[in-house]
Structure 1
Amino acid sequence: MTAPSSSLRERKKAKTRAAIREHAMRLFEDQGYTATTVEQIAEAAEVSPSTFFRYFPMKEDVVLADDVDEVLVEAIHAQPPGMPPIEAIMRAMRAVFAGMTPEMWEFERRRQRLVLGIPELRVRIMQQMTEAIDLVAAVIAERAGLPADDFSARVTAGAVIGAMLAVLPSGGVLPAEGVTPYDYQRIEQALTLLQQGLPLG
Protein backbone atom coordinates (compact mmCIF):
# COMPACT_ATOMS: atom_id res chain seq x y z
CA MET A 1 0.00 0.00 0.00
CA THR A 2 1.48 3.31 -1.06
CA ALA A 3 1.64 6.31 1.24
CA PRO A 4 -0.87 9.08 0.52
CA SER A 5 0.47 11.88 -1.64
CA SER A 6 1.64 15.10 -0.05
CA SER A 7 -1.33 16.99 -1.50
CA LEU A 8 -3.77 14.42 -0.08
CA ARG A 9 -2.15 14.68 3.35
CA GLU A 10 -2.37 18.45 3.20
CA ARG A 11 -6.06 18.31 2.24
CA LYS A 12 -6.78 15.93 5.13
CA LYS A 13 -4.92 18.21 7.54
CA ALA A 14 -6.81 21.25 6.27
CA LYS A 15 -10.12 19.41 6.65
CA THR A 16 -9.29 18.38 10.22
CA ARG A 17 -8.20 21.90 11.13
CA ALA A 18 -11.38 23.39 9.66
CA ALA A 19 -13.55 20.87 11.55
CA ILE A 20 -11.84 21.65 14.85
CA ARG A 21 -12.26 25.35 14.29
CA GLU A 22 -15.91 25.14 13.27
CA HIS A 23 -16.89 22.98 16.26
CA ALA A 24 -14.92 25.22 18.62
CA MET A 25 -16.57 28.39 17.40
CA ARG A 26 -20.02 26.81 17.55
CA LEU A 27 -19.40 25.77 21.16
CA PHE A 28 -18.06 29.22 22.05
CA GLU A 29 -21.20 30.80 20.59
CA ASP A 30 -23.59 28.30 22.23
CA GLN A 31 -22.17 27.96 25.74
CA GLY A 32 -19.55 30.67 26.07
CA TYR A 33 -15.79 30.80 25.58
CA THR A 34 -14.81 30.26 29.21
CA ALA A 35 -17.22 27.35 29.72
CA THR A 36 -15.91 25.50 26.66
CA THR A 37 -12.97 23.16 27.20
CA VAL A 38 -10.45 21.75 24.76
CA GLU A 39 -11.76 18.29 25.61
CA GLN A 40 -15.28 19.30 24.55
CA ILE A 41 -13.98 20.75 21.29
CA ALA A 42 -11.93 17.63 20.56
CA GLU A 43 -14.90 15.36 21.27
CA ALA A 44 -17.20 17.38 19.00
CA ALA A 45 -14.60 17.32 16.20
CA GLU A 46 -13.93 13.61 16.79
CA VAL A 47 -10.22 14.09 17.44
CA SER A 48 -8.04 13.68 20.51
CA PRO A 49 -6.98 16.66 22.66
CA SER A 50 -3.40 16.06 21.53
CA THR A 51 -4.53 16.40 17.92
CA PHE A 52 -6.24 19.67 18.83
CA PHE A 53 -2.97 21.03 20.20
CA ARG A 54 -1.11 20.03 17.03
CA TYR A 55 -3.27 22.49 15.13
CA PHE A 56 -3.84 25.15 17.81
CA PRO A 57 -1.26 25.60 20.61
CA MET A 58 -3.87 27.24 22.88
CA LYS A 59 -7.67 27.35 22.98
CA GLU A 60 -7.68 31.05 22.12
CA ASP A 61 -5.70 30.41 18.93
CA VAL A 62 -8.82 28.81 17.40
CA VAL A 63 -10.34 32.29 17.22
CA LEU A 64 -7.24 34.45 16.92
CA ALA A 65 -5.60 32.60 14.02
CA ASP A 66 -6.10 34.80 10.96
CA ASP A 67 -5.82 32.68 7.82
CA VAL A 68 -5.88 35.77 5.61
CA ASP A 69 -2.45 36.99 6.81
CA GLU A 70 -0.38 34.42 4.92
CA VAL A 71 -2.40 34.91 1.72
CA LEU A 72 -2.03 38.68 2.02
CA VAL A 73 1.74 38.48 2.47
CA GLU A 74 1.99 36.32 -0.67
CA ALA A 75 -0.16 38.83 -2.56
CA ILE A 76 2.11 41.71 -1.47
CA HIS A 77 5.17 39.76 -2.65
CA ALA A 78 3.44 39.25 -6.01
CA GLN A 79 3.11 42.99 -6.71
CA PRO A 80 5.50 44.47 -9.32
CA PRO A 81 9.00 45.35 -8.06
CA GLY A 82 9.50 49.03 -7.39
CA MET A 83 5.87 49.71 -6.53
CA PRO A 84 5.63 51.96 -3.44
CA PRO A 85 4.92 49.88 -0.33
CA ILE A 86 1.51 51.29 0.58
CA GLU A 87 0.31 50.95 -3.01
CA ALA A 88 1.53 47.32 -3.05
CA ILE A 89 -0.32 46.62 0.20
CA MET A 90 -3.54 48.21 -1.09
CA ARG A 91 -3.45 46.27 -4.35
CA ALA A 92 -2.74 43.03 -2.52
CA MET A 93 -5.61 43.63 -0.09
CA ARG A 94 -7.95 44.43 -2.97
CA ALA A 95 -7.08 41.15 -4.68
CA VAL A 96 -7.39 39.05 -1.51
CA PHE A 97 -10.68 40.51 -0.32
CA ALA A 98 -12.21 40.40 -3.80
CA GLY A 99 -11.57 36.65 -3.77
CA MET A 100 -13.37 36.03 -0.48
CA THR A 101 -16.62 34.10 -0.79
CA PRO A 102 -19.80 34.94 1.19
CA GLU A 103 -19.01 31.95 3.40
CA MET A 104 -15.55 33.34 4.13
CA TRP A 105 -17.01 36.74 5.03
CA GLU A 106 -19.53 35.10 7.35
CA PHE A 107 -16.76 33.14 9.07
CA GLU A 108 -14.77 36.36 9.52
CA ARG A 109 -17.82 38.10 11.01
CA ARG A 110 -18.24 35.26 13.52
CA ARG A 111 -14.53 35.36 14.36
CA GLN A 112 -14.53 39.11 14.91
CA ARG A 113 -17.63 38.94 17.13
CA LEU A 114 -15.83 36.47 19.36
CA VAL A 115 -12.57 38.44 19.37
CA LEU A 116 -14.28 41.70 20.32
CA GLY A 117 -16.70 40.11 22.76
CA ILE A 118 -14.24 38.12 24.89
CA PRO A 119 -11.91 40.17 27.15
CA GLU A 120 -9.13 37.55 27.09
CA LEU A 121 -9.06 37.63 23.31
CA ARG A 122 -9.10 41.43 23.12
CA VAL A 123 -5.92 41.47 25.18
CA ARG A 124 -4.21 38.97 22.88
CA ILE A 125 -5.30 40.80 19.74
CA MET A 126 -3.19 43.79 20.75
CA GLN A 127 -0.17 41.50 20.96
CA GLN A 128 -1.01 40.30 17.47
CA MET A 129 -0.92 43.88 16.22
CA THR A 130 2.76 44.06 17.20
CA GLU A 131 3.36 40.77 15.40
CA ALA A 132 1.54 42.16 12.35
CA ILE A 133 3.92 45.14 12.28
CA ASP A 134 6.85 42.71 12.27
CA LEU A 135 5.27 40.75 9.43
CA VAL A 136 4.46 43.77 7.24
CA ALA A 137 7.81 45.44 7.97
CA ALA A 138 9.66 42.32 6.84
CA VAL A 139 7.73 42.25 3.55
CA ILE A 140 8.30 45.97 2.90
CA ALA A 141 12.01 45.65 3.68
CA GLU A 142 12.46 42.56 1.51
CA ARG A 143 10.75 44.21 -1.49
CA ALA A 144 13.05 47.21 -1.11
CA GLY A 145 16.21 45.12 -0.65
CA LEU A 146 16.65 46.38 2.91
CA PRO A 147 17.48 44.54 6.16
CA ALA A 148 14.45 42.99 7.87
CA ASP A 149 14.79 45.39 10.83
CA ASP A 150 15.09 48.53 8.67
CA PHE A 151 13.80 51.58 10.58
CA SER A 152 11.85 53.12 7.70
CA ALA A 153 10.17 49.79 6.90
CA ARG A 154 9.05 49.40 10.52
CA VAL A 155 7.71 52.96 10.67
CA THR A 156 5.79 52.42 7.43
CA ALA A 157 4.40 49.11 8.69
CA GLY A 158 3.38 50.71 11.99
CA ALA A 159 1.58 53.49 10.15
CA VAL A 160 -0.27 50.96 7.95
CA ILE A 161 -1.42 48.83 10.92
CA GLY A 162 -2.39 51.95 12.86
CA ALA A 163 -4.48 53.23 9.95
CA MET A 164 -6.30 49.88 9.78
CA LEU A 165 -7.02 49.89 13.52
CA ALA A 166 -8.35 53.43 13.33
CA VAL A 167 -11.21 52.54 10.98
CA LEU A 168 -12.23 49.02 12.04
CA PRO A 169 -14.83 48.35 14.77
CA SER A 170 -13.17 48.50 18.17
CA GLY A 171 -13.78 48.73 21.87
CA GLY A 172 -15.67 45.47 22.01
CA VAL A 173 -18.57 46.94 20.02
CA LEU A 174 -19.36 45.26 16.72
CA PRO A 175 -22.26 46.32 14.49
CA ALA A 176 -25.08 43.79 14.14
CA GLU A 177 -23.96 42.88 10.64
CA GLY A 178 -20.41 42.27 11.86
CA VAL A 179 -17.31 42.98 9.80
CA THR A 180 -18.32 43.58 6.19
CA PRO A 181 -16.60 44.31 2.87
CA TYR A 182 -17.39 47.97 3.58
CA ASP A 183 -14.98 47.91 6.52
CA TYR A 184 -12.21 46.87 4.15
CA GLN A 185 -13.17 49.66 1.78
CA ARG A 186 -12.60 51.98 4.73
CA ILE A 187 -9.18 50.42 5.24
CA GLU A 188 -8.30 51.23 1.64
CA GLN A 189 -9.53 54.79 2.15
CA ALA A 190 -7.35 55.07 5.25
CA LEU A 191 -4.28 53.77 3.41
CA THR A 192 -4.94 56.16 0.52
CA LEU A 193 -5.01 59.02 3.03
CA LEU A 194 -1.73 57.76 4.49
CA GLN A 195 -0.20 57.53 1.04
CA GLN A 196 -1.19 61.14 0.35
CA GLY A 197 0.62 62.36 3.44
CA LEU A 198 -2.43 62.54 5.73
CA PRO A 199 -4.05 65.76 4.47
CA LEU A 200 -6.80 66.87 6.85
CA GLY A 201 -10.35 67.74 5.83
Structure 2
Amino acid sequence: MATPRTLRTRARILDAALDLFERQGYDATTVNQIADAAGITPMTFFRHFPTKDAVLVTDPYDPLIAQAVGAQPADLPPLERTRLGMLAALGDITPTEDATARRRVALVTQSPSLRAAVAIGTEATQEAIVEQLVADGVDPLDAAIAASACLAATTAALLAWGTAPSDVTLADLVHRALAQLALEKP
Protein backbone atom coordinates (compact mmCIF):
# COMPACT_ATOMS: atom_id res chain seq x y z
CA MET A 1 0.00 0.00 0.00
CA ALA A 2 1.31 3.44 -0.91
CA THR A 3 2.12 5.81 1.91
CA PRO A 4 0.57 9.29 2.07
CA ARG A 5 3.98 10.75 1.23
CA THR A 6 4.29 8.52 -1.84
CA LEU A 7 0.80 9.50 -2.98
CA ARG A 8 1.60 13.21 -2.53
CA THR A 9 4.83 12.85 -4.51
CA ARG A 10 3.06 11.00 -7.33
CA ALA A 11 0.36 13.67 -7.42
CA ARG A 12 2.99 16.44 -7.54
CA ILE A 13 4.79 14.70 -10.41
CA LEU A 14 1.52 14.19 -12.27
CA ASP A 15 0.47 17.82 -11.86
CA ALA A 16 3.88 19.12 -12.97
CA ALA A 17 3.93 16.78 -15.97
CA LEU A 18 0.41 17.68 -17.06
CA ASP A 19 1.15 21.40 -16.81
CA LEU A 20 4.32 21.01 -18.89
CA PHE A 21 2.72 18.70 -21.45
CA GLU A 22 -0.16 21.13 -21.93
CA ARG A 23 2.18 24.13 -22.27
CA GLN A 24 5.03 22.63 -24.28
CA GLY A 25 3.59 19.46 -25.75
CA TYR A 26 4.31 15.89 -24.72
CA ASP A 27 7.24 15.31 -27.08
CA ALA A 28 8.98 18.59 -26.16
CA THR A 29 8.86 17.90 -22.41
CA THR A 30 11.71 16.00 -20.76
CA VAL A 31 11.77 13.96 -17.57
CA ASN A 32 14.35 16.40 -16.19
CA GLN A 33 11.92 19.30 -16.74
CA ILE A 34 9.14 17.38 -15.00
CA ALA A 35 11.42 16.53 -12.07
CA ASP A 36 12.53 20.16 -11.74
CA ALA A 37 8.94 21.42 -11.83
CA ALA A 38 7.90 18.84 -9.21
CA GLY A 39 10.87 19.66 -6.96
CA ILE A 40 12.35 16.17 -7.15
CA THR A 41 15.29 14.43 -8.79
CA PRO A 42 14.98 12.45 -12.03
CA MET A 43 15.78 9.33 -9.96
CA THR A 44 12.75 10.03 -7.78
CA PHE A 45 10.65 10.48 -10.93
CA PHE A 46 11.66 7.00 -12.10
CA ARG A 47 10.86 5.49 -8.69
CA HIS A 48 7.26 6.57 -9.25
CA PHE A 49 6.92 6.22 -13.03
CA PRO A 50 9.04 3.86 -15.15
CA THR A 51 8.74 6.06 -18.25
CA LYS A 52 7.52 9.52 -19.24
CA ASP A 53 4.45 8.07 -20.94
CA ALA A 54 3.56 6.16 -17.75
CA VAL A 55 2.59 9.50 -16.19
CA LEU A 56 -0.30 9.66 -18.65
CA VAL A 57 -1.32 6.05 -19.04
CA THR A 58 -0.93 4.36 -15.66
CA ASP A 59 -3.44 4.58 -12.88
CA PRO A 60 -4.02 2.95 -9.49
CA TYR A 61 -7.36 1.42 -10.42
CA ASP A 62 -6.43 -2.14 -11.48
CA PRO A 63 -6.80 -3.66 -7.99
CA LEU A 64 -10.04 -1.73 -7.45
CA ILE A 65 -11.46 -2.95 -10.77
CA ALA A 66 -10.42 -6.57 -10.11
CA GLN A 67 -11.94 -6.41 -6.63
CA ALA A 68 -15.19 -4.97 -8.02
CA VAL A 69 -15.35 -7.74 -10.65
CA GLY A 70 -14.77 -10.33 -7.91
CA ALA A 71 -17.60 -8.83 -5.85
CA GLN A 72 -20.17 -9.56 -8.57
CA PRO A 73 -22.35 -12.69 -8.24
CA ALA A 74 -20.36 -15.74 -9.31
CA ASP A 75 -23.35 -17.23 -11.11
CA LEU A 76 -23.33 -14.45 -13.71
CA PRO A 77 -21.54 -15.03 -17.02
CA PRO A 78 -17.94 -13.72 -17.02
CA LEU A 79 -18.76 -10.88 -19.42
CA GLU A 80 -21.59 -9.63 -17.22
CA ARG A 81 -19.50 -9.94 -14.05
CA THR A 82 -16.74 -7.92 -15.68
CA ARG A 83 -19.13 -5.32 -17.08
CA LEU A 84 -20.92 -4.81 -13.77
CA GLY A 85 -17.64 -4.80 -11.84
CA MET A 86 -16.19 -2.11 -14.08
CA LEU A 87 -19.32 -0.01 -13.65
CA ALA A 88 -19.12 -0.43 -9.87
CA ALA A 89 -15.45 0.59 -9.84
CA LEU A 90 -16.26 3.64 -11.93
CA GLY A 91 -18.59 4.86 -9.20
CA ASP A 92 -15.58 5.33 -6.91
CA ILE A 93 -13.90 7.95 -9.13
CA THR A 94 -14.01 11.38 -7.51
CA PRO A 95 -14.65 14.61 -9.45
CA THR A 96 -10.99 15.58 -8.91
CA GLU A 97 -9.80 12.26 -10.33
CA ASP A 98 -12.24 12.74 -13.22
CA ALA A 99 -10.78 16.18 -14.01
CA THR A 100 -7.20 14.89 -13.88
CA ALA A 101 -8.13 11.92 -16.06
CA ARG A 102 -9.69 14.25 -18.64
CA ARG A 103 -6.44 16.20 -18.87
CA ARG A 104 -4.49 12.97 -19.31
CA VAL A 105 -6.86 11.62 -21.94
CA ALA A 106 -6.87 14.89 -23.89
CA LEU A 107 -3.08 14.71 -24.10
CA VAL A 108 -3.12 11.05 -25.15
CA THR A 109 -5.64 11.70 -27.93
CA GLN A 110 -3.37 14.46 -29.29
CA SER A 111 -0.38 12.13 -29.56
CA PRO A 112 -0.71 9.00 -31.71
CA SER A 113 2.51 7.62 -30.23
CA LEU A 114 0.85 7.45 -26.81
CA ARG A 115 -1.92 5.13 -28.01
CA ALA A 116 0.53 2.22 -27.87
CA ALA A 117 1.21 3.11 -24.25
CA VAL A 118 -2.55 3.02 -23.59
CA ALA A 119 -2.65 -0.51 -25.00
CA ILE A 120 0.15 -1.59 -22.64
CA GLY A 121 -1.66 -0.03 -19.68
CA THR A 122 -4.83 -1.84 -20.68
CA GLU A 123 -2.95 -5.16 -20.65
CA ALA A 124 -2.20 -4.71 -16.94
CA THR A 125 -5.87 -4.07 -16.22
CA GLN A 126 -6.86 -7.09 -18.28
CA GLU A 127 -4.41 -9.29 -16.38
CA ALA A 128 -5.86 -8.14 -13.05
CA ILE A 129 -9.43 -8.90 -14.18
CA VAL A 130 -8.49 -12.26 -15.68
CA GLU A 131 -6.62 -13.29 -12.52
CA GLN A 132 -9.69 -12.43 -10.43
CA LEU A 133 -12.10 -14.33 -12.67
CA VAL A 134 -9.82 -17.38 -12.91
CA ALA A 135 -9.41 -17.37 -9.12
CA ASP A 136 -13.21 -17.52 -8.96
CA GLY A 137 -13.28 -20.60 -11.20
CA VAL A 138 -13.80 -19.06 -14.64
CA ASP A 139 -12.05 -20.71 -17.59
CA PRO A 140 -8.96 -18.63 -18.52
CA LEU A 141 -10.06 -18.13 -22.14
CA ASP A 142 -13.57 -17.06 -21.10
CA ALA A 143 -12.04 -14.69 -18.55
CA ALA A 144 -9.70 -13.17 -21.17
CA ILE A 145 -12.56 -12.70 -23.65
CA ALA A 146 -14.77 -11.01 -21.04
CA ALA A 147 -11.98 -8.70 -19.89
CA SER A 148 -10.93 -7.85 -23.45
CA ALA A 149 -14.45 -7.02 -24.57
CA CYS A 150 -15.14 -4.74 -21.61
CA LEU A 151 -11.78 -3.04 -21.83
CA ALA A 152 -12.15 -2.46 -25.58
CA ALA A 153 -15.49 -0.76 -24.99
CA THR A 154 -14.05 1.27 -22.11
CA THR A 155 -10.99 2.31 -24.13
CA ALA A 156 -13.19 3.48 -26.99
CA ALA A 157 -15.19 5.59 -24.52
CA LEU A 158 -12.03 6.91 -22.90
CA LEU A 159 -10.51 8.05 -26.19
CA ALA A 160 -13.80 9.63 -27.29
CA TRP A 161 -13.98 11.48 -23.97
CA GLY A 162 -10.78 13.38 -24.71
CA THR A 163 -12.62 15.39 -27.37
CA ALA A 164 -16.13 15.30 -25.89
CA PRO A 165 -17.86 18.45 -24.62
CA SER A 166 -16.79 19.44 -21.10
CA ASP A 167 -20.17 18.56 -19.58
CA VAL A 168 -19.83 14.90 -20.67
CA THR A 169 -18.23 12.81 -17.93
CA LEU A 170 -16.11 9.73 -18.30
CA ALA A 171 -18.81 7.84 -16.40
CA ASP A 172 -21.39 8.90 -19.01
CA LEU A 173 -19.36 7.48 -21.88
CA VAL A 174 -18.23 4.33 -20.08
CA HIS A 175 -21.82 3.55 -19.09
CA ARG A 176 -22.84 4.03 -22.72
CA ALA A 177 -19.98 1.83 -23.99
CA LEU A 178 -20.57 -0.97 -21.49
CA ALA A 179 -24.32 -0.88 -22.13
CA GLN A 180 -23.48 -2.13 -25.65
CA LEU A 181 -22.26 -5.35 -24.00
CA ALA A 182 -25.21 -5.83 -21.63
CA LEU A 183 -27.00 -9.17 -21.77
CA GLU A 184 -30.29 -7.32 -21.65
CA LYS A 185 -30.40 -3.95 -23.36
CA PRO A 186 -31.90 -1.11 -21.29
How far has the Cα of 1:157 moved from its partner? Answer: 2.5
Q: In structure 1, the residue corresponding to 2:21 is in which secondary structure?
A: helix
Q: Does 1:182 align with 2:182?
A: no
Q: Which TM-score applies when normalising by structure 1?
A: 0.78
- Does 2:46 match 1:57? no
Task: Give the aligned partner of residue 44 of structure 1.
Answer: 37
Question: Shift of residue 115 of structure 1?
Answer: 1.2
- Within the candidate set 85, 97, 102, 1:104 is matched to 97
Q: 1:158 to 1:98 in 2, by over 3 A?
A: closer
1:191 aligns with 2:184: no
TM-score by length of 2: 0.84
- 1:120 is aligned to 113
Map of 1:155 onto structure 2: 145
Identical-residue share of aligned pairs (%): 32
Structure 1 residues 7-35: Cα deviation after superposition (integer angstroms, max 9, x where no partner): 8x711111111111111111101111111
SS at the partner of 1:191? coil
Quick one: distance in 2 between partners of 1:141 and 1:117? Answer: 36
Please list every run of 5 or more consecutive structure 1 residues that lacks an aligned counterpart in the other structure: 1-6
Write the mapping of 1:7-156 to structure 2, written as runs, cut at 5 A. Answer: 10-144=3-137, 146=139, 150-156=140-146
Higher relative contact order (CA 8 A, sep 6+): 2
Q: Aligned residues, how many?
A: 184
Kindly indicate whether the alpha-carbon contact (under 8 Å) linking 2:69 and 2:129 is maintained by their aligned counterparts in 1. Answer: no
